[in-house]
């Protein structure tokens, strides 16, 4: 199943600007599981969206979008799964293509980042998320989805946006300046907030989008929905600003836990992924 339902004209691996890697994994999910079904739901929804982007006035698919088979799940645990993701993403980067990872739970993003860092050693992370994900470990695992930002922050600079849920130790970690963290309230309440966030990022950026950064009114299909999230318009404002002023070298969209019979969140996720591809290819065009 190709992202966007694309035929061979626009999905050839050798000519593709973007390579989509589905990772249907949610072994460390703790509240509402189901994000393993996220990649398939996004791919199915993407086949029903218009390929002409009304904001960008172009068909982004013409730059080429190849979709890989879903990554085989390693049941030995999250550390092994992270290693598998790293190897798969490294293969994409070796061909000078932009990896687009569809989750699955958030722990897989660490594997993608490690692959990106090997090629772009000064990369930083833009983490869009409701949760800080800065626990040293959770339920006995340092590679839980609740610890992914902590592992990332040990490897590269991390800038969080949309945060509105954390533990007391995570709050202390943020106060110590170990990460840069912007709340959802900051996004809603400050003029030119996107400029302030973008200037905190290095030139090379990996974007990880936990879909629960969005308000549950538009994105209810996540494992731990948190009230008070950012809007569809806000996330586009930020992503377009970052795409214009920085170099996004890869990105993911994770933690979609599809709700049977409710396809709007699946469609939103697919459209968001396609729109960010459009922002990146728009910069290539310029």
Nearest to 145 by CA among 158, 133, 161: 133
pTM value is 0.96
pLDDT score for 34: 80
C-alpha to C-alpha distance for 269 and 260, rounded to whole angstroms:
15
283: number of Cβ within 10 Å: 15
How is residue 86 annotated by DSSP?
A: H
Contact 43, 69 (CB under 8 A): no
pLDDT tens-digit readout, 155-166:
999 999 999 999
- Written as tens digits, the pLDDT of the chain (286 aa) is 899 999 999 999 999 999 999 999 987 677 677 889 999 999 999 999 999 999 999 999 999 999 999 999 888 888 999 999 999 999 999 999 999 999 989 999 999 999 999 999 999 999 999 999 999 987 778 788 889 999 999 999 999 999 999 999 999 999 999 999 999 999 987 889 999 999 999 999 999 999 999 999 999 999 999 999 999 999 999 999 999 999 999 999 999 999 999 999 999 999 999 999 999 998 766 5
pLDDT score for 31: 65
Read out DSSP for 152-189?
A: HHHHS-EEEEEE-B--HHHHHHHHTTSSEEEEHHHHHH
Contact 70, 24 (CB under 8 A): yes
pLDDT score for 285: 60
Contact 78, 107 (CB under 8 A): yes
The contacts of residue 279 (CB under 8 Å, 6+ apart) are: 56, 239, 240, 243, 244
């Amino acid at each position: 199943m190709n992202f966007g339902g694309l035929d061979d004209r626009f999905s050839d691996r050798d000519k593709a600007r973007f390579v989509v890697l589905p990772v249907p994994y949610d072994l460390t999910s703790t509240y509402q599981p189901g994000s393993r079904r996220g990649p398939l739901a996004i791919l199915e929804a993407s086949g029903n969206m218009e390929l002409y982007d009304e904001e960008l006035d172009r068909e982004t698919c013409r730059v080429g979008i190849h979709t890989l088979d879903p990554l085989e799940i390693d049941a030995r645990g999250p550390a092994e799964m992270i290693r598998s993701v790293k190897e798969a993403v490294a293969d994409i980067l070796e061909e000078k293509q932009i990896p687009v990872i569809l989750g699955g739970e958030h722990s897989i993003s660490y594997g993608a980042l490690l692959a990106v860092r090997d090629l772009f050693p000064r990369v930083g992370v833009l983490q869009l998320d409701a949760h800080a994900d800065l626990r040293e470990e959770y339920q006995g695992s340092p590679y839980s989805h609740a610890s992914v930002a902590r592992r990332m922050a040990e490897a590269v600079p991390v800038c969080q946006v949309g945060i509105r849920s954390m533990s007391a130790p995570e709050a202390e970690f943020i106060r110590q300046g170990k990460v840069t963290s912007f709340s959802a309230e900051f996004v809603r309440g400050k003029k030119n907030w996107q400029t302030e966030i973008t200037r905190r990022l290095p030139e090379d950026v990996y974007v990880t989008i936990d879909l629960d950064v969005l308000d549950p009114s538009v994105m209810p299909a996540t494992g731990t929905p948190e009230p008070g999230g950012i809007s569809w318009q806000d996330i586009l404002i930020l992503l377009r600003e970052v795409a214009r002023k920085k170099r996004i070298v890869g990105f993911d969209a994770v933690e979609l836990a599809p709700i049977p019979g409710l396809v709007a969140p699946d469609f939103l996720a697919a459209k968001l992924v396609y729109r960010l591809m459009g922002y990146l290819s728009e910069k290539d065009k310029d």
